[in-house]
Structure 1
């Protein structure tokens, strides 16, 4: 019997049968895993199986090909945040994106740590600006981990690491101010925080970072049925924009 015991971040829950649910959750070492939770739609388990929650997960299966049976005990709840429109939209998007794009049973420890940090930031950051930046960094890391990383270290035209101010929507490479002269309208502004600099000083910078990652998520990852997730992200970006107004 295959088994797993690990802390896990709940990413998606889908009804299965009359009372059960299929849980998809991200673990640090085993990556994204799935299991059937008996009674997962019950009054007792629904508050535990909420996206963003941290749970102690146990999976057991007779064979590697069988959907495992799962049990989960609550370690940390995000339920209070789900009552607030902006944090709720952010948690919905981050967990849905993770569940939809990661292959199962492949280890992504950096993504696990980044998602845990993002969820913590949504809960404690004094303003949405801080966690919006963390979300952009998470999306950037997700792209890189899945083979679609952006090259933001040097100018794609000159090879220089100085004066990087834009991103090419075609190549995903950074462009310095000198090389961008006359072509600025065709490029995306590159906020310094996306290259590991200080946190953004304005929500505008955070949104500029999200505009970059959103373009490449749309182009490279969200295909087929996953394209419906773009609506989830659009609602989040709209709420962030209204928070600035």
Structure 2
């Protein structure tokens, strides 16, 4: 096995004295784990930061063998590490991707969405500018892995208008009339997920509460504690930025 590819750096785990196993998200080969020699050295440390775009060459004698990789930086997001909210947004989105995806299965839509999300985090002046992209990325991840939500019509009545909530059990939308008797037992469905466009802080946080419920229940079972700490830190910082804490 040998191929060259653009990639997003997702995570790095020390291996040996100077090397590391790096997880990369690629457009055609999905999640790839590879050993990078000297990964913790002075020259490679700035390259292998989560969220960076790199050009990678991977090679292995067999598909079962851990690949060896050489990596060159094409775009650094290292400067964002000094900004708490963008840094936490990148930390969470890359950790989620590295944890949830199976290796070596292509997810071109997720590759494009992750690339767009990281670009939005880098470009937007405030987190309210990329919060909706994060919610949509989490929804897409659920859908691509077989746990998509059905927001097309009311689960009880079949109505396609006035959809305001989601059942935490079925993941299906619920209309205003049908949701009223259940009160806070349902998850709020923020309008931007149906109508598109930007959203305010309250809608972004409600969107993250919605996706977070299904990520923890369906995708991160047995693995949630390790990565959800990053998400909790992100939510806390978002709430602070919104003036809610």
TM-score normalised to structure 2 length: 0.97
Matched, 1:127 2:129: no
Matches within 5 A, 1:39-54: 39-54=38-53
Q: Post-superposition shift, 1:82?
A: 1.2
Name the CA distance, whole Å, in 2 between partners of 1:39 and 1:52. 19
Structure 2 SS opposite 1:21 = strand
Question: Is the 1:192–1:198 Cα contact (8 Å) retained in structure 2?
Answer: no
Match of 1:223 in 2: 221
Matched, 1:15 2:14: yes
Question: Is the 2:216–2:224 Cα contact (8 Å) retained in structure 1?
Answer: no
Cα deviation 1:49-108 (Å, max 9, x = unaligned): 010000001001111111111010001101011111111111000000000010001010
Of stretches 27-36 and 185-194 in structure 1, the one that deviates more from structure 2 is: 185-194
Q: Post-superposition shift, 1:146?
A: 0.5
Match of 1:188 in 2: 187
Of stretches 47-56 and 215-224 in structure 1, the one that deviates more from structure 2 is: 215-224
Of stretches 185-194 and 16-25 in structure 1, the one that deviates more from structure 2 is: 185-194
Match of 1:64 in 2: 63
Q: Post-superposition shift, 1:237?
A: 0.1
Runs (4 or more) in structure 1 with deviation over 4 Å come to none
Of stretches 190-199 and 85-94 in structure 1, the one that deviates more from structure 2 is: 190-199
Structure 1 SS opposite 2:7 = strand
Name the CA distance, whole Å, in 2 between partners of 1:61 and 1:185. 52
Question: Is the 1:11–1:96 Cα contact (8 Å) retained in structure 2?
Answer: yes
TM-aligned CA distance change 1:196 to 1:140, over 3 Å: farther
Matches within 5 A, 1:113-192: 113-192=112-191
Question: Is the 1:14–1:23 Cα contact (8 Å) retained in structure 2?
Answer: yes
Q: Post-superposition shift, 1:196?
A: 4.9
TM-aligned CA distance change 1:196 to 1:17, over 3 Å: farther
Cα deviation 1:132-152 (Å, max 9, x = unaligned): 111010000000001100001
Structure 2 SS opposite 1:204 = helix
Structure 1 SS opposite 2:165 = strand
Question: Is the 2:2–2:59 Cα contact (8 Å) retained in structure 1?
Answer: yes
Name the CA distance, whole Å, in 2 between partners of 1:177 and 1:49. 47
Q: Post-superposition shift, 1:186?
A: 1.2
Name the CA distance, whole Å, in 1 between partners of 2:10 and 2:166. 30
Name the CA distance, whole Å, in 1 between partners of 2:164 and 2:185. 13
Name the CA distance, whole Å, in 1 between partners of 2:183 and 2:174. 10
Name the CA distance, whole Å, in 2 between partners of 1:7 and 1:49. 13
Name the CA distance, whole Å, in 2 between partners of 1:64 and 1:206. 41
Structure 1 SS opposite 2:38 = coil
Name the CA distance, whole Å, in 2 between partners of 1:157 and 1:211. 22
Structure 1 SS opposite 2:223 = helix
TM-aligned CA distance change 1:89 to 1:135, over 3 Å: same
* Unaligned 5+ runs, structure 2: none
Name the CA distance, whole Å, in 2 between partners of 1:168 and 1:130. 27
Name the CA distance, whole Å, in 2 between partners of 1:183 and 1:7. 48
